[in-house]
Amino acid sequence: MKLRVRFSKFGPVKFIGHLDIMRFVQKAVKAAGIPVKYTEGYSPHQILSFAHPLGVGVESESEYFDLEVTTLDGCEHFKVNLNRQMCEGMSILGVYLLPDDTKNAMASVKFASYRVELHHKDASDLLSDAVERFIASESVLSYKETKTGVQERDLKEAVKEISYVKESNNGEKNAVIFTADASSGGNLKPATLMEALYRPFDITFNPWDYQIIRTEVYKEDRDGKPVPLSFGLEEL
Amino acid sequence: MRKLALSDEILLQIDKPARYIGEEKNSIMKNAAEVAVRFVMCFPDLYEIGMSHLGIQILYGMFNSYEDTWCERVYSPGSDLDDILRKRNIPLFALESQDPVKDFDFLGITLQYEMCYTNILQILDLSHIPFHADKRTWDDPIVIGGGPCAYNPEPIAEFFDLFYIGEGETSYRQLLDVYKTDRANQVTREEFLRHASTVPGIYVPSLYRTEYKEDGTIASFTPLFQDVPKTVRKEVVGNLSESFYPTKPVLPFIKATQDRLVLEIMRGCIRGCRFCQAGQLYRPIRERNIEVLKQYARELIKNTGHEEICLSSLSSSDYSHLEELLLFLIDECDANKINISLPSLRIDQFSLDVMNKVQDVKKTSLTFAPEAGSQRLRNVINKGLTEEDILGGSKMAFEGGWNKVKLYFMLGLPTETEEDIKGIGKLCNEIAKVYFDTVPKEKRNGQKIQITASTSFFIPKPFTAFQWASMNTQEEFREKAFQTRCGIIEQLNQRSIKYNWHDTDVSVLEGIFARGDRKIANVIEKAYEKGCMFDAWNETFHYDKWLESFDECGLSIDFYTTRERNDDEIFPWDFIDIGVTKAFLLREWKNALAGKVTANCRAQCQGCGAASYGVGFYCPGGDQK
Of A193-202, B115-124, B335-344, B613-622, which range is least confident? B335-344
Instruction: Answer yes or no: do A22 and A38 share one domain.
Output: yes
Is the preceding peptide bond at B284 cis, omega within 30 degrees of 0?
A: yes
User: Mutating which of B4, B7, B9, B23 best tests the A interface, going by the most A Cβ atoms within 10 A?
Assistant: B23
Partner-chain contact B253 A24, CB within 8 Å: yes
CB environment B381-411: b (16+ within 10 A), e (fewer): bbbbbebeebeebbbbbbeeebbbbbbbbbb
| Residue B363's pLDDT band (cuts 50, 70, 90) | low
Query: B363-519+555-563 in CATH: which number?
Result: 3.30.750.200
The pLDDT tens digits of the residues spanning B523-539 come to 999 999 999 999 988 88
The pLDDT tens digits of the residues spanning B439-464 come to 988 888 778 899 999 999 999 999 99
| Residue A162, domain member (yes or no) | yes
Instruction: Answer yes or no: do A13 and A67 share one domain.
Output: yes
Instruction: Report percent pLDDT > 90 for chain B.
Output: 88
Q: What kind of architecture, by CATH, is found in domain B8-233?
A: 3-Layer(aba) Sandwich (3.40)
Looking at this protein, which amino acid is placed at residue B87?
K
What pLDDT is stored for residue B444 in this prediction?
83
Which residues of chain B neighbour A15 with C-beta distances below 8 Å? 11, 17-18, 21
Q: Residue B98: left (phi > 0), alpha (psi -120 to 50), or beta? A: left
Looking at this protein, which amino acid is placed at residue B263?
L
The pLDDT tens digits of the residues spanning A53-109 come to 999 999 999 999 999 999 988 788 899 999 999 999 999 999 999 998 888 888 899
| Residue A41, domain member (yes or no) | yes
Chain B residues near any Cβ of chain A (below 8 Å): 1-2, 4, 7-9, 11-13, 17-18, 21-25, 251, 253-255, 302-307, 336-337, 339, 360-362
Min Cα distance B507 → chain A (Å) is: 36
Which residues of chain A neighbour B307 with C-beta distances below 8 Å? 26-27, 30
Count of the separate structural domains present in chain A:
2
Instruction: Answer yes or no: do A82 and A141 share one domain.
Output: no
Cα B327 to Cα A184: distance, rounded to the nearest angstrom: 46
Cα B61 to Cα A192: distance, rounded to the nearest angstrom: 46
| Residue B625's pLDDT band (cuts 50, 70, 90) | very low
Q: Strand A59-68 relative to strand A2-9: parallel, antiparallel, unpaired?
A: antiparallel
Which residues on neighbouring strands pair with residue A59, listed in sequence order?
A: A213
CB environment B25-38: b (16+ within 10 A), e (fewer): bbbbebeeeebbbb
Min Cα distance B574 → chain A (Å) is: 47
The pLDDT tens digits of the residues spanning B482-520 come to 999 999 999 999 999 999 998 788 999 999 999 999 999
| Residue A21's pLDDT band (cuts 50, 70, 90) | very high
The pLDDT tens digits of the residues spanning A148-190 come to 888 889 999 999 999 999 877 676 789 999 999 999 889 999 9
CATH code for the domain of A165: 3.30.70
The answer, for A84 touching chain B at a CB cutoff of 8 Å, is no
How many C-beta atoms surround the C-beta of residue B219 within 10 A? 11
Q: Which residue of A has its CA nearest to B96?
A: A12
Min Cα distance A138 → chain B (Å) is: 35
Instruction: Answer yes or no: do A136 and A84 share one domain.
Output: no
Instruction: Answer whether residue B383 shows pLDDT above 50.
Output: yes
| Residue A234, domain member (yes or no) | no
What pLDDT is stored for residue B175 in this prediction?
98
Q: Strand A175-181 relative to strand A159-165: parallel, antiparallel, unpaired?
A: antiparallel
**Mean pLDDT value across residues B238-261:** 95
Min Cα distance B300 → chain A (Å) is: 10
Count CB pairs under 8 A between chains A and B. Answer: 83
Q: Residue B226: left (phi > 0), alpha (psi -120 to 50), or beta? A: alpha
Q: Is B428 exposed, middle or buried, given 0-12, 13-18 or 19+ CB atoms closer than 10 A? A: buried
The pLDDT tens digits of the residues spanning B1-13 come to 789 999 999 999 9
Q: Which residue of A has its CA nearest to B23?
A: A87
Partner-chain contact B21 A206, CB within 8 Å: no
What pLDDT is stored for residue A43 in this prediction?
77
**Mean pLDDT value across residues A19-40:** 94
Matching fold, domains B8-233 and B260-359+595-625: no
Q: Which residue of B has its CA nearest to A16?
A: B18
Largest CA distance in chain A: 58
Q: Which of A89, A106, A123 is the last residue of a domain?
A: A106
A44 backbone dihedrals φ, ψ, rounded to 5°? -65, 140
What pLDDT is stored for residue A76 in this prediction?
81
Partner residue facing B253 (CB), from A16, A30, A38: A16
Average of per-residue pLDDT values in chain B:
94
Instruction: Answer yes or no: do A123 and A221 share one domain.
Output: yes
Instruction: Answer yes or no: do A23 and A41 share one domain.
Output: yes
Instruction: Answer whether residue B476 shows pLDDT above 80.
Output: yes
The pLDDT tens digits of the residues spanning A113-160 come to 999 999 998 999 999 999 999 999 999 998 888 888 888 899 999 999
Asked if B162 and B142 touch (Cβ cutoff 8 Å), the reply is yes
| Residue A83, domain member (yes or no) | yes
Instruction: Answer yes or no: do A96 and A127 share one domain.
Output: no
Cα B83 to Cα B533: distance, rounded to the nearest angstrom: 13
The pLDDT tens digits of the residues spanning B145-166 come to 999 999 999 999 999 999 999 9
| Residue A41's pLDDT band (cuts 50, 70, 90) | confident
List A residues 1-20 in contact with B (Cβ-Cβ < 8 A).
10-13, 15-17, 20
| Residue A233, domain member (yes or no) | no
Instruction: Answer whether residue B474 shows pLDDT above 90.
Output: yes
What pLDDT is stored for residue B623 in this prediction?
55
Residues contacting A92, CB < 8 A, separation 6+: A5, A6, A7, A79, A82, A83, A86
Instruction: Answer yes or no: do A29 and A98 share one domain.
Output: yes
Asked if B414 and B589 touch (Cβ cutoff 8 Å), the reply is no
Cα B3 to Cα B99: distance, rounded to the nearest angstrom: 10
Instruction: Report percent pLDDT > 90 for chain A.
Output: 78
What pLDDT is stored for residue B12 in this prediction?
96
Partner-chain contact B307 A13, CB within 8 Å: no
**Mean pLDDT value across residues B597-625:** 89
Residue ranges per structural domain of chain B:
8-233, 260-359+595-625, 363-519+555-563
Instruction: Answer yes or no: do A95 and A123 share one domain.
Output: no
Instruction: Answer yes or no: do A66 and A13 share one domain.
Output: yes
Side-chain half-sphere exposure of B10, counting CA atoms within 13 A: 21
Residues contacting B189, CB < 8 A, separation 6+: B136, B137, B138
What pLDDT is stored for residue B362 in this prediction?
58
Q: Which of A88, A106, A124 is the last residue of a domain?
A: A106
Is the CA virtual torsion B178, B180, B185, B190 positive or negative?
Answer: positive
**Mean pLDDT value across residues B214-238:** 97
Instruction: Answer whether residue B367 shows pLDDT above 60.
Output: yes
Which domain range does residue A203 map to? 111-227
User: Domain B260-359+595-625 classified CATH 1.10.10.60?
Assistant: no
Query: Rounded to the nearest 5 degrees, what angle is found at the Cα of A214, between the Cα atoms of A210 and A216?
Result: 155
Partner-chain contact A23 B255, CB within 8 Å: yes
| Residue A9, domain member (yes or no) | yes
| Residue A171, domain member (yes or no) | yes
**Mean pLDDT value across residues B401-419:** 94
| Residue B359's pLDDT band (cuts 50, 70, 90) | low
What pLDDT is stored for residue B539 in this prediction?
86
Q: Which of A50, A83, A106 is the last residue of a domain?
A: A106
Min Cα distance B456 → chain A (Å) is: 34
ipTM metric: 0.94
Query: What is the DSSP code string of B84-138?
Result: HHHHHTPPPB-TTT--BGGGSSEEEEE---GGGHHHHHHHHHHTT--SSGGG--T
Partner-chain contact B23 A89, CB within 8 Å: yes
| Residue A148, domain member (yes or no) | yes
